């Protein structure tokens, strides 16, 4: 009997105006905007590829380990088409250096700050607004309409348990809402996979499947809320008004309101405070560095290292200079200052990281409070689950920064290994011992000639064995992060269906 | 008869559950927005005065020598505005920190980043509540106003009398507008009372005029949704279908179209990365450097002794170099703004975007204020230079040459080193838009809102005249 009721309801729903309008709107929006969003992803991917190729080209020009300071980039997530999340909002690059530990970067990746007036547009927005409205419109009169038409009392005159009637309606609602969701997903995926540069891996398909399940759970939770209002009221008009007010609260007020409220409940540290702390640390670092130089045997900043410098190395940066040729004494000095500087930079890197972390942790705590408040709305839960599954949530950026920090350790270990803990010649120069002795004794004119000879035979280092940075997409990681939100969506469904069930048991069908 | 219909509509609406819910929702939102605004505004004012005083204190120290005044790097911030209560204009996420000397200017910077970990959220100001919630409520009130009466059979009864259809439609429109006006005016009143009692900032006569014009603008905006609701109601056969159509219309007009701005901005105009700016600045400087003789013989040379070089030529060259770089910064800034405006222009199909833009113009906030501030800083630079030149005339030891090279100006005594009275030195003071300027900025948006009204009124009127009441 449940299936008979479900089939009847399902067919009735398919023929309604609201179903047609909602489905058409959802599918049309997906068909129009998925190619646009895919093109946006293609451009970002192209930019990422160019940046990676550029850094690879620069690595091929590195002639001394002292200037081996590559930059790593975060690859844009293909599923950002579905949920943009924090992409475009957080920094997506990290410099690998002795003096910096990569961490989540509050610096906006946005090139044009004036564009921050526009909200993000993605498939998630279409789903959470249009599909939720459709779910509510399908559900609000499920019970009250039958009561108004008198068919409910006829149905219950038969020996059918009320629970079966409600289960049949739930099944019908699920099937009805699965139709636009499935069509929109298939259309979106067909358009996405036919787009240039888009390659979907096995892990991506698993995440897409979970996104589909999350979408169904979300629309079903909105349906169950509509069902509850329908079971609680005696007229469809009343159920509609209550449902609409709940919907506007869930979709428009709670997501913004939770962030607003979190700012009051959990004040966060200011960026100015962090900047002041960092500026003080930088000042202290400069002081310690100068003291370190002064303490070196035979000289401070102005030690006669001689020879031509490569002022910035191929990659650049304030301290990336190195001597191509110098006197033997100068060379010893370079080794000493290099070791001293590296030690000091490593020490201060921890301090800078702590200052940055203190600030970012306070911001993340505030965001966590906002998320917890938002959990009263299925929209926020769906948002959280989709963003985690797309790999564009804050946690994914944190885990990328962690991977970059681990990569930094690997690069430092590699440099130390190759340069005998920064004491080898290759760390600073490719000049030979004879050339350095000759350089010391040579006149100004001969020094210039010698320098040119060294410059000619100074060749790029072979860095083929340098480990490359990788941050692979991990479906398991995304699923774990989305788990709580998905579970809560299930709880929402069970809770609201349970309440509807209880209300329907006592429903006066006259 | 018209007044009877209006009265009936109002009474019917006032007694409905939707009115009670609307009233509760909107008043609590307005009150919450006002309380949060008071706290935020107080904090922002403290920050603003702290930063401004720090800047002025640093500036004061420069008054010991005239030439230093023009080379001081000033940090100016936009002042928190009371009317941000009505339309905040996303100012928290817009660049509103200006760093400049008497010559050079940087791109405006962000002042105090908002929490990077929080999702982007709209400020809970009047324009948010009215554009989003009131437009929705307008549809909730209108969806059954014509087709509902038809379904109940009362429409036929009304029209059997000698009442023209136009009177019925106008009566319903007036009744709905008056009903919506109650929660709107009550909400605004609650909000204003909370803010004025808190005494967080002073309300001037000009502020009240702007508040009143914003209220009028809100009614024009709401009228669009009432007319659109009446139009769809006059086309629909059943209220349920009408609500479905209106709900999807609302979603499209108020949420989806305004969200397209970013995509439109990216597609219509490509932003240049900051590296392009640095490159363009270097190129502009190089162009001047490559043609130094144009400014006089020896303009490219600089020596601590002015007699060894040509100071007037050097001054012309240096100022031309700074101006060339400033022009690059200005054009880059204009390109950024043009990209954002292009995105916004396309989303003006939505009355919600038009209303928010017009509200920002009337409140004197938003992107237009950023443009105005940048312009005011440029004007102030000229004013400061003119003042220094004027004061310098009285010093016979000075070379009377003002140019953007602090070292040379000091070494050559190109500008007087005498102390000046700091009170006489011009200070930067932000000038708000006058009401006339605000109206000029809002005039196109106002026109568009009126046009929307006319179109939907005509559509509702035509539909209702041909409506089959059986």
Higher pLDDT, B317 or A151: B317
- Tell me, what DSSP letter sits at residue B433? P
Report pLDDT for B113: 62
Find all residues with CB under 8 Å of A206, minimum gap 6, and list them. Answer: A475, A479
| Collapsed DSSP state (helix, strand, coil) of residue A73 | strand
Three-state DSSP at B122 gives coil
Question: How many Cβ atoms sit within 10 Å of the Cβ of residue A198?
Answer: 16
B131: buried, middle or exposed (CB in 10 Å: 19+, 13-18, 0-12)?
A: buried
Nearest by CB to A363, which of B115, B121, B256? B115
SS (H, E, C) B333-374: HHHHHHHHHHHHHHHHHCHHHHHHHHHHHHHCCCHHHHHHHH
Q: What is the mean pLDDT of residues B162-182?
A: 90
Q: Per the CB < 8 Å rule, is B241 touching A89?
A: no
Paired tokens of A142: 């499920």
Secondary element (H or E) of residue B175: helix B165-198
pLDDT digits (tens, 9 = 90+) for B117-140: 887 767 789 999 999 999 999 999
Interface of B with A in 112-141 (CB under 8 A): 112-113, 115-122, 124, 128, 132-133, 136, 140
pLDDT of residue A109: 54
Cβ atoms A359, A259 nearer than 8 A = no
Task: Please name the member of A36, A240, A367 whose beta carbon is closest to the beta carbon of B117.
Answer: A367
Which range of residues forms the domain containing residue B350? Answer: 2-107+122-465
The interface pTM score, or ipTM, of the predicted complex is 0.86
DSSP secondary structure of A197-235: T----HHHHHHHHHHHHHHHHHHHHHHHHHHHHHHH-SS
Query: Residue B415 has what DSSP assignment?
Result: S
Q: pLDDT of A191-203, one tens digit each?
A: 999 887 788 888 8
User: What residues contact B345, with CB distance under 8 A and at least 6 apart?
Assistant: B264
Mutation target to probe the A interface, by most A beta carbons within 10 A, among B115, B120, B145 is B115
Say yes or no to pLDDT of B467 above 50: yes
Q: Count CB neighbours of A303 within 10 A.
A: 19
A53 C-beta neighbours (distance < 10 Å), count: 10
Mean pLDDT of B207-213: 93
Question: Which among B239, B259, B343 is the nearest to A125, CB-wise?
Answer: B259
Mean pLDDT over B159-180 rounds to: 88
HSE (side-chain half, CA atoms, 13 Å) at B12: 15
Cα-Cα-Cα-Cα dihedral sign, residues B116, B118, B124, B129 = positive
Residue B115 included in any domain: no
Strands (E), A24-126: 71-73, 93-95
Q: Say if B470 falls within a structural domain.
A: no
Residue B247 lies in a domain: yes
Q: Chain A residue closest to B108 (CA)?
A: A113
**Does the residue B81 lie in any domain?**
yes
Question: Which residue in A75, A7, A80, A1 sits closest to A37, CA to CA?
Answer: A80
The alpha carbon of residue A493 and the mean position of all alpha carbons in its chain are separated, in whole angstroms, by: 28
Q: Which residue reads 């409140």 in tokens?
A: B363
| Chain B partners within 8 Å of A236 (Cβ) | 240
B-proximal residues of A, 257-296, CB under 8 Å: 257, 259-260, 262-264, 268, 270-272
Q: CB contact, 8 Å: B54 with chain A?
A: no
Residues of chain B positioned with their CB less than 8 A from the CB of A137:
243-244, 247
Say if B265 falls within a structural domain: yes
Q: Answer yes or no: do B21 and A241 touch at CB < 8 A.
A: yes
Residue with tokens 């963003």: A387
Q: Answer for the pair B70, B402: CB distance below 8 angstroms, yes or no.
A: yes
Angle between helix A17-59 and helix A132-139 axes, rounded to 10 deg: 160
Going by the DSSP 8-state scheme, the letter that residue A77 receives in this structure is P
Tokens encoding B439: 């109206």
In this predicted model, what pLDDT tens digit does every residue of B242-260 receive, in sequence order? Answer: 988 998 899 899 988 998 8
Q: Where are the beta strands (DSSP E) in A333-466?
A: none
Six-digit token pair at A69?
């300071």
Chain A residues close to B251, C-beta within 8 Å: 25, 129-130, 133
- Count of residues in chain B: 470
Q: Is residue B206 in a domain?
A: yes
Measured between alpha carbons, how far is B160 from B17 in angstroms, rounded to an integer?
30
Contact B400, B413 (CB under 8 A): no
Q: Which two tokens stand for residue B17?
A: 């559950």
Quick count: other Cβ atoms within 10 Å of Cβ B272?
A: 15
Chain position carrying tokens 């002041």: A276
How buried is A384 (Cβ within 10 angstroms: 0-12 exposed, 13-18 middle, 19+ buried)? buried
Q: Give me the residues paired with residue A73 across strands.
A: A93
CA pair distance B386, B177, nearest whole angstrom = 56
CA angle, B361 then B363 then B369, to 5°: 60
Cβ <8 Å between A37 and B263: yes
Nearest to B358 by CA among B428, B454, B452: B452
Integer Cα distance of A301 and A316 in angstroms? 20
Q: In what order do the strands lie in the sheet with B95-100?
A: B74-77, B95-100, B109-110
Whether the Cβ atoms of residue A335 and residue A428 lie closer than 8 Å to each other: yes
Task: Judge whether residue B284 has pLDDT over 50.
Answer: yes
Please check whether residue B111 is in contact with residue B77, taking contact to mean a CB–CB distance below 8 angstroms: yes
Q: Is B20 on the interface with A (CB under 8 A)?
A: no
DSSP B114: P
Task: Give me B186's structure tokens.
Answer: 């009550």
Q: How far is A252 from chain B (nearest CA, A)?
A: 8
Predicted pLDDT of residue A439: 79
How many domains does chain B fold into?
Answer: 1
For chain B, say whether A240 makes contact (Cβ under 8 Å): yes
**B337 assigned to some structural domain:** yes
Closest to B310 measured CA to CA, from B417, B385, B401, B386: B401
Secondary structure element (H or E) that encloses residue B226, with its range: helix B205-235
Residue B124 CB coordination number (10 Å): 21
User: Which residues 42-101 of chain A have a CB within 8 Å of chain B?
Assistant: 89-90
Q: How close, in Å, is residue B462 to chain A by CA atoms?
A: 23
Spatial contact of B6 and B174, defined as CB atoms under 8 Å apart: yes
Distance CA A277, CA B131 (A): 42
Q: Which two tokens stand for residue A361?
A: 């942790």
State the nearest Cα–Cα gap between A58 and chain B, in angstroms: 17
Name residues whose C-beta falls within 8 Å of residue A36's C-beta, 6 or more positions apart in sequence. Answer: B263, B267
Task: Please list the ranges in chain A whose pLDDT falls under 50.
Answer: 301-304, 311-312, 318
Q: Which of residues 169-228 of A touch B (CB under 8 A)?
A: none
> Is B284 part of a structural domain of the chain?
yes
- The residue of chain B nearest to residue A126, with distances taken between CA atoms, is B256
Cβ contact, residue pair A271, B239, below 8 Å = no
What is the model's pLDDT at position A303?
47
* Chain A contacts in chain B segment 249-268 (CB below 8 A): 251-252, 255-256, 258-263, 265-267
**What 3-state DSSP class applies to A100?**
strand
Q: Which helix (H) or strand (E) holds A149?
A: helix A144-149
Distance from C-alpha of A332 to C-alpha of A323, rounded to nearest angstrom: 12
- Please tell me the predicted confidence (pLDDT) of residue A320: 60
Poorest-confidence range of A154-158, A296-300, B228-232, B408-412? A296-300
Q: Are A118 and B145 in contact (CB under 8 A)?
A: no
Cα–Cα separations (whole angstroms), residue B323 to B53, B99, B329, B375, B387:
29, 16, 10, 15, 19
Residue of B23, B77, B116 to mutate, interface with A, max A Cβ within 10 Å? B116
């Amino acid at each position: 009997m449940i299936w008979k009721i479900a089939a009847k309801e399902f067919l009735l729903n398919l023929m309604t105006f609201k179903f047609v309008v909602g489905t058409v709107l959802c599918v049309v929006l997906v068909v129009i905007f998925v190619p646009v969003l895919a093109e946006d992803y293609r451009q970002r991917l192209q930019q990422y590829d160019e940046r990676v190729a550029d850094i690879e080209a620069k690595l091929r020009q590195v002639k001394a380990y002292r200037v081996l300071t590559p930059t790593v980039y975060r690859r844009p997530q293909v599923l950002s088409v579905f949920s943009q999340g924090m992409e475009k909002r957080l920094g997506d690059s990290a410099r690998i250096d002795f003096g910096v530990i990569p961490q989540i970067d509050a610096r906006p990746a946005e090139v044009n700050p004036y564009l921050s007036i526009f909200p993000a547009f993605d498939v998630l927005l279409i789903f959470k607004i249009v599909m939720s409205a459709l779910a509510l419109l399908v559900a609000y009169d499920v019970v009250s309409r039958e009561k108004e038409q008198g068919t409910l009392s006829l149905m219950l005159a038969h020996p059918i348990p009320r629970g079966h009637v409600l289960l049949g309606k739930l099944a019908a609602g699920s099937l009805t809402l699965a139709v636009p969701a499935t069509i929109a997903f298939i259309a979106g995926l067909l358009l996405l996979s036919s787009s240039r540069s888009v390659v979907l891996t096995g892990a991506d398909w698993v995440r897409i499947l979970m996104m589909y399940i999350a979408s169904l759970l979300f629309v079903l939770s909105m349906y169950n809320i509509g069902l509850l209002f329908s079971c609680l009221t005696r007229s469809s008009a009343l159920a509609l008004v209550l449902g609409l007010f709940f919907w506007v609260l869930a979709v428009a007020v709670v997501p913004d309101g939770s962030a607003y409220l979190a700012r009051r409940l959990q004040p966060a540290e200011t960026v100015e405070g962090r900047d002041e702390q960092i500026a003080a640390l930088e000042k202290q670092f400069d002081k310690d560095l100068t003291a370190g130089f002064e303490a070196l045997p035979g000289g401070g900043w102005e030690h006669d290292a001689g020879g031509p410098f490569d002022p910035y190395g191929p990659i650049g940066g304030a301290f990336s200079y190195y001597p191509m040729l110098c006197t033997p004494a100068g060379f010893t000095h370079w080794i000493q200052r290099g070791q001293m500087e590296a030690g000091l930079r490593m020490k201060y890197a921890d301090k800078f990281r702590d200052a940055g972390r203190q600030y970012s942790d306070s911001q993340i705590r505030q965001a966590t409070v906002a998320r917890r408040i938002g959990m009263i709305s299925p929209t926020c839960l769906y948002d959280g689950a989709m963003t985690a599954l797309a790999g564009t949530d804050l946690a994914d950026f944190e885990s990328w920064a962690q991977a970059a920090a681990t990569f930094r350790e690997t690069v430092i270990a590699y440099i130390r290994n190759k340069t005998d803990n920064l004491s080898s010649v290759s760390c600073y120069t490719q000049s030979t011992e004879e050339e350095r002795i000759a350089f010391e004794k040579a006149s100004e004119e001969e020094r210039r000639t010698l320098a040119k000879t060294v410059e000619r035979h100074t060749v790029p280092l072979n860095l083929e064995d340098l480990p490359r940075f990788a941050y692979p997409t991990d479906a398991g990681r995304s699923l774990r992060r989305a788990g709580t939100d998905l579970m809560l969506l299930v709880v929402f469904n069970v809770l609201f269906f349970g309440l509807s069930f209880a209300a329907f048991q006592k429903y006066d069908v006259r | 008869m018209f007044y009877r219909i209006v009265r009936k509509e109002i009474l019917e609406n006032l007694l409905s559950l939707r009115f009670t819910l609307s009233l509760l929702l909107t008043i609590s939102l307005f009150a919450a927005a006002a309380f949060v605004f008071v706290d935020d505004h107080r904090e922002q004012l403290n920050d603003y005065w702290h930063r401004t005083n720090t800047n002025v204190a640093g500036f004061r120290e420069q008054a010991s020598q005239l030439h230093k005044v023009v080379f001081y790097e000033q940090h100016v911030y936009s002042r928190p505005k009371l009317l941000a209560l009505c339309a905040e204009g996303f100012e928290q996420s817009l660049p509103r920190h200006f760093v400049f000397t008497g010559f050079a200017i940087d791109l405006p910077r962000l002042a105090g980043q908002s929490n990077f970990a929080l999702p982007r959220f709209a400020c809970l100001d009047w324009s948010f509540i009215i554009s989003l919630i009131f437009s929705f409520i307008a549809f909730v009130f209108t969806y059954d106003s014509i087709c509902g009466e038809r379904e109940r059979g009362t429409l036929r009864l009304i029209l059997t009398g000698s009442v023209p259809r136009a009177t019925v439609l106008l009566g319903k429109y007036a009744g709905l507008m008056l009903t919506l006006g109650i929660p709107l005016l009550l909400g605004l009143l609650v909000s204003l009372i909370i803010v004025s009692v808190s005494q967080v900032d002073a309300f001037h006569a000009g502020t009240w005029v702007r508040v009143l014009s914003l209220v009028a603008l809100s009614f024009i905006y709401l009228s669009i949704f009432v007319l659109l609701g009446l139009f769809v109601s006059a086309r629909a056969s059943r209220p349920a279908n009408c609500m479905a159509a209106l709900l999807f219309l609302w979603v499209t007009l108020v949420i989806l179209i305004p969200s397209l701005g970013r995509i439109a901005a990216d597609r219509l105009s490509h932003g240049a990365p900051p590296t392009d700016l640095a490159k363009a600045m270097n190129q502009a400087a190089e162009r001047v450097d490559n043609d130094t003789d144009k400014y006089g013989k020896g303009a490219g040379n600089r020596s601590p002794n002015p007699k060894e070089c040509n100071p007037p030529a050097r001054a012309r060259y240096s100022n031309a170099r700074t101006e060339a770089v400033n022009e690059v910064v200005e054009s880059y800034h204009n390109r950024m703004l043009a990209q954002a405006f292009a995105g916004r222009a396309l989303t003006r199909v939505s009355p919600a975007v038009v209303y928010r833009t017009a509200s920002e113009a009337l409140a004197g906030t938003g992107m237009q204020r950023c443009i105005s501030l940048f312009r005011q800083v440029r004007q102030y630079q000229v004013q400061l230079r003119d003042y220094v030149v004027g004061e310098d005339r009285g010093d016979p030891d000075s070379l009377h040459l003002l140019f953007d090279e602090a070292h040379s100006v000091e070494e050559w005594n190109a500008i007087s080193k005498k102390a000046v009275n700091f009170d006489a030195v011009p200070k930067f003071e932000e000038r708000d838009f006058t009401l006339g300027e605000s109206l000029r900025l809002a005039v196109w948006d106002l026109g568009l809102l009126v046009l929307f009204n006319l179109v939907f009124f005509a559509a509702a009127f035509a539909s209702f005249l041909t409506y089959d009441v059986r």
